[in-house]
Amino acid sequence: MKRFGGLCIAMLLGWATAALAQTWQVDATHSALTFTNTYQNVEYTGQFHRFDAEIVYDPNDLAHAKFDVSVDIASLDTQNSERDHTALGADFFDTAKFPKAHFVTTAFRKTADGRVVADGVLTLRGVSKPVALTVRFKPDGDTATLDVTAQLKRLDFGIGTGQWADPSMIGDGVTVRGHLLLHARP
């Protein structure tokens, strides 16, 4: 019982120190921003190799949490050079006019089943829409892993409209996943 009490105190102390708003540095080489979509009804995965993320996160202080992510769209890679070239063109991401995508959180909340959801606004191809991320955060000493998932619809952002709108050609639904390795900033 004494031991249990000691453990409880240690855990409380641990929480107390973690309760200070924590800023994290993204380890780019061990992090990835990927998405899954379908082309001719076949699933494929793409990646944005370059992005910047400012992460302020403490699981016990969601009120002060903030994600601010900027993505270099031209770093798109779907392992298919024709597809990448087309995707950056005016009919799709139109990187000449919109080189960056930006996501910033507005609020964090806990769902009934205990998951953390980050509500935010994604600005992509000049269109700003609310987007919700599910957040999984695993601290491990001075490092942590952060996994986020979001469901988007490409047509909401005007990516491949008109003749390319047909979802049997290019699926409308896109699942975006971020896997970040974080280092605590002092």
Among 121, 166, 183, 185, which residue sits at the site for another protein (rule: CB under 8 A)? Answer: 166
* Least Å from the CB of residue 41 to another protein: 7
Please choose, out of 1-9, 28-36, 61-69, 164-172, the segment that lies near another protein by the rule CB under 8 A.
164-172
Cβ at position 20, least distance to another protein in Å:
45
What is the spatial distance between Cα 136 and Cα 151, in angstroms, rounded to a whole number? 15
Of 27 and 43, CB closest to another protein: 43
64 and 58 in contact (C-beta within 8 Å)? yes
CA dist list (Å): 165 to 1, 28, 41, 155, 158: 64, 34, 13, 7, 9
Nearest residue to 110 (alpha-carbon basis) of 59, 67, 66: 59
> Is residue 161 involved in binding another protein (CB under 8 A)?
no
Q: Taking CB under 8 A as the rule, does residue 86 contact another protein? A: yes
